[in-house]
Amino acid sequence: MRCPKWLPFICTIFILLAMKLCIDWSSDDLLPQSELHRSKSEWKLSAMNKLSFMGTERDFLEDDRYRTLLLNLSQELRNKIPVVDAYWNRKQHEMFQRLESGANISMSCSANRDVTKEIRNFDSYPDLYKQFLLYSNCHQFPLVINQPKKCAGNQIFLLLAIKSMPQNFINRQVVRETWGKETAYGNLWVRRVFLLGMEKGDFDPNLQHLLLFEGQRFQDILQWDFHDSFFNLTLKDNLFLKWTTKYCPDAHFIFKGDDDIFANTMAIVNYLHSLTYPVAKALYMGHIVSNAVPFRERKSKYYIPESYYSGPYPAYAGGGGFIFTGHLAKWLYLVSYYIVFYPIDDVYIGLCFNALGIEPLAHAKFQTFDIAAKNRDNACSHKTLLLVHQRSPQQTLRLWKLLHDPTLSC
């Protein structure tokens, strides 16, 4: 039997059409992730860039242009937070309503006794939790040690902001001698600050003279007058964002991390320098924790009672170390007025980014849950990593020396 002459022609057309459809359907997957990121955030960025912020917080809170933009941006988060009876969920939905109506935001620093009645089983909460809930409306604490000139002079490419605690002298010194060096990589300047609260326990020794000296000697200590504790880390983040808005608004990128990590600063700088403009303009990058839910075991450090928060967490970058675009610090600070403080700091920052409509970008070289145990002392396994948690001060010094040894061969 002979085929009609037109059959191959028709077949070719069909095959081409099918291929075209296939490409259209999967084009989202074919785009590199950073390009997807770019198209989604473009209008938000230009809207943000149009609003420059000069005045005080009050000026901002009473300016309808910020409010309407934040109202628009936070719509997705609003839809994500379950409307249920849990305390945080209820308070947050009240906040969204305030954002909508333009009602005043309270900035009271007195103990919020209402919470003892608003949470049905408040009495059964752990003591530190009660402390957190009673005082979490208060966001204003004075700086005790400041570095007002930290970002003066050279344009800062990367500001390293490292959460520390008053007694962690050794950790800070190792960071100074290793990945936290204040130096320029090419012409890209890196600067460092440590973020501290104070020792306020009844049986805490007084370290203040030593810290004052340390601050003068190294010019890298920021300290605020609040009790430095795990549940006050969200407060610490918030005070740092406020500080950055005032004293370091032009840093290109900000790295926020712990003082017990190992970071490969040169690799981080090179990576950030290689980013295309739209990605670099709205970056929130690290080890991304997606679909996480609150820990419900009372013994866990991260325990969250059912009556406090309900629902999964929006994706967030693990707090051991993550990076974001410097000019977003101001926006995070502003939007934080409308996001109820949360006892876990990295979840809170994730909520704030979510409220700005900025999605986190995962980077496989951020290992906040550490690498395989057998490789933890192996310099070669750290060569291409950007960050790993956690390392002792001595391990960090050793790894740093090995990695900078010209005879190292991997």
Ligand X SMILES: *[C@@H]1O[C@H](CO)[C@@H](O)[C@H](O)[C@H]1NC(C)=O
Q: Does 104 bind ligand X (CB under 6 A)?
A: yes
Distance (Å, whole) CA 333 – CA 301:
26
- From 125, 135, 157, 337, residue interacting with ligand X (rule: CB under 6 A): 135
**Interatomic CA distance for residues 319 and 356, integer angstroms:** 19
**For ligand X, which stretch binds (CB under 6 A), given 130-138, 153-161, 205-213, 307-315?**
130-138
72 is an interface residue for ligand X by CB under 6 A:
yes
**Residue 370 corresponds to which tokens in the numbers above?**
């550490």
CA separation (Å) from 364 to 13, 166, 314, 349, 387? 42, 32, 19, 20, 10
Smallest separation, CB 215 to ligand X (Å): 19
CB of 114 to ligand X, least distance (A): 17
Conformation bin of residue 163: beta by default, left when phi > 0, alpha when psi is -120 to 50: beta
Q: Tell me how many helices (H) and strands (E) the chain has.
A: 17, 12
Decide: helix, strand or coil at residue 251: coil
CB 79 → ligand X: shortest distance, Å? Answer: 9
Does position 231 interact with ligand X (CB under 6 A)? The reply is yes
Based on CB atoms, which residue is closest to ligand X, 26 or 46?
A: 46
Is residue 107 at the binding interface for ligand X, with CB under 6 A as the rule? no
For 188, phi and psi rounded to 5 degrees? -100, 110
Size of the site for ligand X (CB under 6 A): 15
Per residue in 139-169, is it b (16+ CB within 10 Å) or e — as a string?
A: bebeebbbbeebbeeeebbbbbbbbbbbebe
Q: Select from 13-21, 154-162, 225-233, 297-305 the region that touches ligand X (CB under 6 A).
A: 225-233
Closest distance of CB 235 from ligand X, Å: 6
According to CB under 6 A, which one of 87, 122, 132, 179 is a site residue for ligand X? 132
> Which of residues 75, 121, 154, 290 is near ligand X by CB under 6 A?
75
Which residue reads 């924790």 in tokens? 289
Q: Rule CB under 6 A: which residues touch ligand X?
A: 43, 72, 75, 102, 104, 128, 131-132, 135, 200, 226-227, 229, 231-232
